[in-house]
Amino acid sequence: MDTVEWRTAEGLFHVLLLLAKSYSDRGSAREAEYFSIQAEDLAISLNIPVMQARAVTARGEIQLAMGTKKFEEASKAIADAGQNPLVGADKAVYQRVLGSYHEFQDQIEEAQQAYEDSRDALRQLDLSLRGVL
C-alpha cells in the first residue's frame, strides 16, 4: 500500500473502533460488537496482527460487559487477542481487559496481577516516550 491507502485504512480502522466505543458507552452493546467485528475484519484483510489484536480486545471487552450471555465468546476473544503481538498502550488495554475477565470469574489474584501488568505496561510506555529507555 502507498501512504494514502495506508492512512485511509488506518483512519477507517480507528473510526470503526471509535464507533464501537461510542455505542458501548451509550449502552448499545449489539451495535458496539458489530463495529468491533468490522474493525477486526478490516485488520484481517489488511493482514496487520497488531490491529487485529486491538479489535479483538475491544470485542472481548464489549462481550464481557454484556454479561453471562456472551461470556464464552468474550473468553475466546480475550484468549485470541493474547496470541497476537501487543506492545505499549495496546498491551496495557489488553491486560486491563484480562483483569476484568478474571474479576468477572472471581479470580481476584489473577485479576490483580493483570491490573499490575497493565500498570507496568503504561509505566514502560511513559518511560519510552520520555526518552529514558
Average pLDDT over residues 15-41: 96
Name the DSSP class of 47: T
Give the dihedral sign, CA 120/123/129/130. Answer: negative
Calpha distance 29→103 (Å, rounded): 20
Q: How far apart are CA 87 and CA 12, in angstroms?
A: 21
**pTM exceeds 0.85, yes or no:** yes
Identify which of 10, 11, 31 has the alpha carbon closest to the alpha carbon of residue 21.
31
- CA dist 54 and 40 (Å) reads 8
Band (1; pLDDT cuts 50, 70, 90): low
Q: Which residue has the higher pLDDT, 69 or 15?
A: 15
